[in-house]
Amino acid sequence: MARRSSFLHCRDERWRRPLYGVIAAAGLLSNVHCAWQMNRFEREEVAHFDLLLRNLPRGKRLLMLTFRNGSHIANAGAIVT
């Protein structure tokens, strides 16, 4: 029975482990980058939101909070229609 050819199938065994290592390293690097970007967004753009909520008057109604529509860190263009 013939083997199916795929991206991760290497005929030469010496390339298989380095290939898996490169794929694992790329995944890890991607996760670290995402965590760094989320931390940066929280630190630079929404850091004072809790302070704003704490300073709102108690027992009053809040009509609206106005937010900036654009962000230099988070791009929500694909989510907002």
| pLDDT: which is higher, 56 or 78 | 56
At residue 30, the pLDDT reads: 93
- In three-state secondary structure terms, 79 is coil
50 belongs to a structural domain: yes
63 belongs to a structural domain: no
Q: What is the pLDDT of residues 41-68, one digit of tens each?
A: 888 888 887 887 888 888 888 777 666 6
Q: What is the pLDDT of residues 15-40, one digit of tens each?
A: 778 888 999 999 999 999 989 988 98
Q: What is the pTM of this model?
A: 0.56
Measured distance CA(10)–CA(77) in Å, rounded = 40
- pLDDT exceeds cutoff 90 at 5: no
Report the domain count for the chain.
Answer: 1
Structural domain range at position 27: 13-54
4 belongs to a structural domain: no
59 belongs to a structural domain: no
19 belongs to a structural domain: yes
